[in-house]
Structure 1
């Protein structure tokens, strides 16, 4: 790997592409699994006779496991080697998937999802580390673009795959499908990944682990509970968020004392890493949070099936596939500060359409807007990640990618919670229908709730005018929520204005014996 990285040919050679294939397989398993399970929640309610709050823990438990294990990835990669750890992560994820398919209670399913998350949490940061080291400084952009494909297509392909598997077979297959993929990825990793080099053993930061991992888990637990409780004043929300935040803040002050902290915040002295991670964090909150509501609009307002809603999201993935390879090549040649703002402008333009959605907005307009957003997505996320990691040394890439992945996870959870709370509060403002209550909890049914239920085949004693009023209210609620998302997208332009506009000097090979020095920077006017 060292000689390949040192040579850094302009094109991606066969060896590097083989390594990329391993990482992409792992990323596909990890990312698709999140979105595939999201469409199965109603099925879990029926199969296990559980409430929505209970089945939602199949998502929350997975997220909390990710947050717990991601901080350990940087140290573990240095201590045990990326190849060994990556294969262990694949094994844990695949084992957890098989166990999920055997669950006969909601409690078992949640427990197995946590095991799955422990493996899935290591796949992405380790994958980024492996690819960054394999590519060398001259090819990071193109190789990161390869990794970005499953990251962008997961939210689109997941609902389609999940809907098809549940309709054609059973819910068990949304987990069993990972068995053959995991087996192939494990064998592939054994032969394709370079042998781990012996690294000097570093002391493990137990104090940091006792603060950071529980802190992140508690904070994200509180954030994830927001949509269910509907208010931040609930003790379950504010108390866990406060304790989690205090633990994380305590870790921040503590982390500068040990020589080898669990999470090396000293890396933020690197300006490129700092600006890129802040840009990525704001972008994830803005786009990923609201992006989860796009298929919900098709499901709840337009009455589409899960499969059709997933297919309607496909133009976004097509757009991303078109621009991502181009953006990867440009990221290796042109400073990202000169390209990312244009890509963000495409996202903002496409997003603006969704602030005007109604009950009969043209699908051509909506799909066209998703396509434009996809074009922007393909030119935004991975170039920012490339900028974050390009100027780190080879030894620091594991810890740098861990930082990036933690911020991604927090941003995604915060964004989803913000958008869900806003949409829920909007829908709760709908007028109640006199004399009509929900038999499960005795609560009055609103016009908006009745309209959504009728869209999905429920038989309720309401007239056409009530249905139309309720549906219009739901559409307006989505439009209001999308306005908030649009404003957050505009806020992303602030940090990306500070992205480097000059060619960065790479230090990726500085600590690799025998590697050639990084080429002198080229000024671009």
Structure 2
């Protein structure tokens, strides 16, 4: 009987492993897959330019809110039930997004999809680590991380091709078969596991930090459209953010127990690494959010080509992460952190040289360099963060560490959208100021037709927008420069 049961158990473990890795890919690819399809989505839903960032931030911010509850939900209802429920709701979210006919419907559907996706990533990794022996945990973490990065990196290419040849709803429908496959494997192969006693959870702490993050996110996303503090809504969101963060800090300092152990904040390496990982997220997704519109709207690249242009960055990012796993343990991880930051800064400095006369090679070269830098930085920061952290604190630390990256991405997207529109308007005024009547001497009657004026205005707007995009790459570069001195305060991690 044991001889028969062993192959079945091995086969079941293999199926669960594949499903868990596919879950990591599925959750990540749906972050970036709309990136190259933005022109089609905007045109179909009449979405304004300042609303584009919501496509990404709505999904990520919603998943960030639910993610900390995963452990409690799994202990209360069982990991298998939670896994399948999340997959079913995620599939419903995919259908709702694809069927959206207005911007509001689309954003609410992305929020719903993000809420459903929140438990998927931590559950899939926890199940992998639970099923496999500890000797394979390092490789398991690496494989899971690579699949998540592949999802983010391949999303724009897949979305660009599908939206150009089939239609933008197909970029969400394509995830349904994979979701169904994972649901089926989980139902057939994953044994149920439920805590004997329901774990306690700090709902007040989660509620206050969620209030603070949501208020800040809404204020940044809506501020430009509502003229900032001349709007009562922005005041309400600012007060909600300040109140939420204040209550959370007081709760952390005064409560005996909460979902973030105070000991986490006493580990200098972990705190500094989490801050730098926030900057990592600040650069990772906003670069995609800026590059695709620049190529499509300003440089007139086809949608599918724009998607393919993200591939070099993804290849070097994933490749660098894999190569870092073979780096000798005796090499100080702080050296890799410095090297990663230096490469990212240099890549963003290269992006400052973008111009209307450039070809695809300039974008590909900068993407290659930035991908390599981010690929070196990610595992190096993880090593410095957890190398000195108590083993008992690692589950909570891993949740906070990943939250810092995800929240960095949502804040980064909001910030670059704000500065992009402000800089576009400022540059348009500066360029238009030089178009005086004395420069019309070349026209026979000294005037321009309405068509010519419209064409001239479009040209000025395009030039202003390109300058504004380049300025946003400068902001991303400055963000990395600001956190770079923190490397000097890191302690050497044990080998």
TM-score normalised by the chain length of structure 2: 0.81
The residue number in structure 2 matching 1:447 is none
Shift of 1:424: 1.4
Shift of 1:256: 5.0
The residue number in structure 2 matching 1:352 is 349
Distance 2:189 2:269 in 1: 31
Q: Is the 8 A contact 1:320 1:376 kept in 2?
A: yes
The residue number in structure 2 matching 1:73 is 70
1:414 paired with 2:411, answer yes
Shift of 1:182: 0.7
Q: Is the 8 A contact 1:22 1:185 kept in 2?
A: yes
1:87 paired with 2:84, answer yes
Shift of 1:129: 4.0
Unaligned runs of 5+ in 2: 1-9, 433-449
Q: Deviations over 1:465-485 (max 9, x none)?
A: 766555443333222222222
Distance 2:103 2:462 in 1: 33
Shift of 1:299: 2.1
Worse overlay, 357-366 or 225-234? 225-234
Q: Deviations over 1:194-235 (max 9, x none)?
A: 753635323343333432333322222212224544656654
1:311/1:54 Cα in 2 relative to 1: closer, same or farther (>3 Å)?
A: closer
Shift of 1:240: 0.8
Q: Deviations over 1:81-128 (max 9, x none)?
A: 555433332232122213333445555444433321111122233344
Distance 1:133 1:88 in 2: 20
1:361 paired with 2:352, answer no
Shift of 1:139: 5.7
1:112 paired with 2:109, answer yes
Q: Is the 8 A contact 1:83 1:193 kept in 2?
A: yes
The residue number in structure 1 matching 2:376 is 379
1:248 paired with 2:219, answer no
Shift of 1:353: 0.6
Shift of 1:42: 4.3
The residue number in structure 2 matching 1:494 is 485
Q: Paired residue for 1:32, among 29, 32, 43?
A: 29
Distance 1:393 1:92 in 2: 36
Worse overlay, 100-109 or 51-60? 51-60
Distance 2:430 2:282 in 1: 35
1:411/1:232 Cα in 2 relative to 1: closer, same or farther (>3 Å)?
A: farther
TM-score normalised by the chain length of structure 1: 0.77
Output aligned runs, 1:36-435, within 5 Å: 36-48=33-45, 59-80=56-77, 82-103=79-100, 106-131=103-128, 142-190=139-187, 196=193, 198-229=195-226, 231=228, 234-258=231-255, 260-330=257-327, 334-389=331-386, 396-431=393-428
The residue number in structure 2 matching 1:479 is 470
Number of aligned pairs? 469
Worse overlay, 146-155 or 278-287? 146-155
Distance 1:191 1:98 in 2: 24
Shift of 1:304: 0.9
What SS is found at the alignment partner of 2:258? coil
Distance 1:335 1:82 in 2: 38
1:89/1:258 Cα in 2 relative to 1: closer, same or farther (>3 Å)?
A: farther
Worse overlay, 389-398 or 296-305? 389-398
1:112/1:414 Cα in 2 relative to 1: closer, same or farther (>3 Å)?
A: closer
Q: Is the 8 A contact 1:141 1:332 kept in 2?
A: no
Unaligned runs of 5+ in 1: 1-12, 436-458, 504-521
Quote the RMSD (CA, aligned, Å): 3.6
What SS is found at the alignment partner of 1:292? helix
Distance 1:231 1:204 in 2: 36
Distance 1:336 1:185 in 2: 36
What SS is found at the alignment partner of 1:198? coil
1:317/1:248 Cα in 2 relative to 1: closer, same or farther (>3 Å)?
A: same
The residue number in structure 2 matching 1:446 is none
